[in-house]
Amino acid sequence: TQSQPWWKGGIIYQIYPRSFMDSSGDGVGDLRGATSRLPYVASLGVDAIWLSPFFLSPMKDFGYDVSDYRAVDPLFGTMDDFKALVTEAHRLGLKVVIDQVLSHTSDQHPWFTESRENRTNPKADWFVWADPKADGTPPNNWLSIFGGSAWAWDTRRGQYYLHNFLTSQPDLNFHNAEMRQAQLDNMRFWLDLGVDGFRLDTVNFYYHNQSLADNPAVPTGESKTFVAKGVNPYTYQRHVNDLSQPENIGFLSDMRALMDEYPETTLVGEIGDDKPLERMAEYTAGDDRLHMAYSFDLLNDQFGPSYIRDVVRRYEEGLGDGWPCWALSNHDVVRVVSRWSLGHEDAQAYPPILMALLLSLRGSVSIYQGEELGLPEADVPFESLQDPYGISFWPEFRGRDGCRTPMIWEPEALGGFTTGLPWLPIDEPHLEYAVSVQEPNVHSILNRIRNLIRWRQEQPALCMGELELVEGSGEILCWIRRHSDQTLVVAINITGETQTMPWTQPVKYELSGHGFSGRLADGQIELPPYQAFYAEL
Ligand code: TEU
């Protein structure tokens, strides 16, 4: 097998530290807790972990509002706890990717405290400040992703500041070179501590258009796509001038130059954009930008064979030499088995076939904690909501707490997650999915998925091969993956009915060991509900 960097085709397991494992009994997960569960993560056969933010933060957006880029929040532990986590991960053969929320800070960050003081201080230009219009209203029509104007009034400076998310997340001004250097220095701090990569939060939001021109409206007729379940229903403008400015590419190159000083490291950018694929291709082109672009195309509400086939086709045609990182779940969206549900799926069989789909795509893969257990979305009542995004938009949009409830280790009231009062309620229907319940059962979702991951890691064509769509496959998702050491065909049935498709090409042999029961007979691939078929060509 040709040697490839670990991240290319690698599998990353996302840990949301607040909800993974609590070692201190305060009801909030922490780094020591996470470290204690790393052997479990390693047992899944994944290559790396991605840790959502654990930095000092007032936690208005649960860590995506950073007030010190180089400090561990006491809620999560100490710097020594972080070092111990990295050591243990590396001992277990796991790479460590951490979040970097460089686009905005918390309003409690000392940079912002200084910047808002007056218009002449040394950090006056580190954030995006603008005068009101003549009538006192905000400088333009830009909207916050979390609702309302993207501008907040600051009385002391007598100016508005930009915030793409909460008002407590002021947007940094990337047109300021000193600030950019400070962020690169912050990244170097973590690289020197041995981290293997960064997940770059909202990487396309870094620069804004300095002309402060209004954003164009979404054409009527298209706006309904924004009202889909799970999406902020009040967004009615395209984000043209507040994100993805041409200058961004220069900063991607600066970050890449830094990473290139640290061999075997990676940058994966989160790119939520009006033109996602175009942006992903642009951001990962060549060897001097990002290594990977995190794909949102399987994180929305659309699903089903024809939608997924269309996504695969668009990526093959549009990504060029760029490299995607796929995910079906994360800490921002409804858990996939619920989001992609018609209401009658087989709760045992659906999660493994969705994992088979994810692991058959060309690219790297990110799995979200609990996805390997088949967890559905938790039902969090309004009184227990924590996410400000959900509190603002309830009930049209219920926010992100339903995918952030604690991991379930034991089938007990507190899920084996904590001994205290959990920060979000343990979802009772989740208890039967507990790790300790699934471990001893070879047919459990967890064991089927673990087996599948381990099997996939041994198929070079699935890890890094090219992809060619097979036409005429009906409701079956079918493609050929080709690598110098292996060519294989994969056929996947994510529906609840038996599906067949013609197959006339000769196969060398059918592959086994993946746990699925599709078969080839009489010139047809036959797939019972939620089954897959793999053969070497
Ligand atoms: O998410 C960015 C985010 O909200 C996108 O999913 C957004 O919906 C998309 O870009 C719109 O086009 C990240 C974090 O994952 C999230 O938890 C944070 O709240 C957010 O950034 C702000 O830091």
Picking from 350, 368, 386, the residue at the C-terminal end of a domain is 368
pLDDT at 224 over 60: no
DSSP code string of 129-143:
EEPPPTTS--SS--B
Residue 77 lies in a domain: yes
pLDDT attached to residue 226:
43
pLDDT attached to residue 1:
45
pLDDT at 119 over 90: yes
CA of 28 to the centre of ligand 1 (A): 22
pLDDT, tens digit (0-9, with 9 covering 90-100), for 46-87: 999 999 999 999 999 999 999 999 999 999 999 999 999 999
Q: What radius of gyration, in Å, describes the C-alpha atoms of the chain?
A: 23
Confidence class of residue 221 from pLDDT cuts 50, 70 and 90? low
Residue 151 lies in a domain: no
Residue 202 lies in a domain: yes
Residue 29 lies in a domain: yes
Nearest CA, atom 11, ligand 1: 272
CA of 146 to the centre of ligand 1 (A): 9
| Domains of the chain: total | 2
Confidence class of residue 147 from pLDDT cuts 50, 70 and 90? confident
pLDDT attached to residue 232:
59
DSSP code string of 169-197:
SPBB-TT-HHHHHHHHHHHHHHHHTT--E
Residues 94 and 202 in one domain: yes
Picking from 333, 368, 403, the residue at the C-terminal end of a domain is 368
Among 261, 321, 383, 471, the one annotated catalytic: 261
Residue 526 among the catalytic residues: no
Q: Is 346 exposed, middle or buried (0-12, 13-18, 19+ CB in 10 A)?
A: exposed
Average pLDDT of the segment spanning 459-463: 98
Residues 76 and 190 in one domain: yes
pLDDT at 347 over 80: yes
pLDDT, tens digit (0-9, with 9 covering 90-100), for 225-276: 444 444 555 666 788 888 889 999 999 999 999 999 999 999 999 998 888 8
Nearest CA, atom 18, ligand 1: 64
CA of 444 to the centre of ligand 1 (A): 33
Atom of ligand 1 nearest to the CA of 274: 12
Residues 55 and 192 in one domain: yes
CA of 202 to the centre of ligand 1 (A): 6
Residue 419 lies in a domain: no
pLDDT attached to residue 230:
47
CATH number of residue 499's parent domain: 2.60.40.1180
What are the backbone dihedrals phi and psi of residue 317, each rounded to the nearest 5 degrees, phi first? -85, -30
Q: Which residues contact 338 (CB under 8 A, 6 or more apart)?
A: 376, 377
pLDDT attached to residue 511:
98
pLDDT at 281 over 80: yes
pLDDT attached to residue 273:
84
Residues 47 and 188 in one domain: yes
pLDDT at 97 over 80: yes
Residue 201 among the catalytic residues: yes
Residues 347 and 491 in one domain: no
pLDDT, tens digit (0-9, with 9 covering 90-100), for 151-161: 999 999 999 99
Confidence class of residue 533 from pLDDT cuts 50, 70 and 90? very high
Picking from 340, 368, 396, the residue at the C-terminal end of a domain is 368
CATH number of residue 349's parent domain: 3.20.20.80
Average pLDDT of the segment spanning 398-415: 97
Bridge partners, residue 144, by sequence: none
Q: Is 33 exposed, middle or buried (0-12, 13-18, 19+ CB in 10 A)?
A: buried
Look up residue 283 and give its DSSP letter: H
Residue 440 lies in a domain: no
- Cα gap 363→10, rounded to integer Å: 8
- Greatest CA separation for the chain: 79
Which pTM does this prediction carry? 0.97
How far is the first Cα of the chain from the last one, in angstroms, to the nearest whole number? 17
pLDDT attached to residue 384:
97
Residue 127 lies in a domain: no
- Encoded tokens for 385: 């909501």
Range of the domain at 485: 465-536
Average pLDDT of the segment spanning 417-430: 98
pLDDT, tens digit (0-9, with 9 covering 90-100), for 374-389: 999 999 999 999 999 8
pLDDT attached to residue 179:
98
Nearest CA, atom 4, ligand 1: 145
Q: Percent of the chain beyond pLDDT 90?
A: 89
Residue 76 lies in a domain: yes
Task: Select the more confidently predicted residue: 513 or 240.
Answer: 513
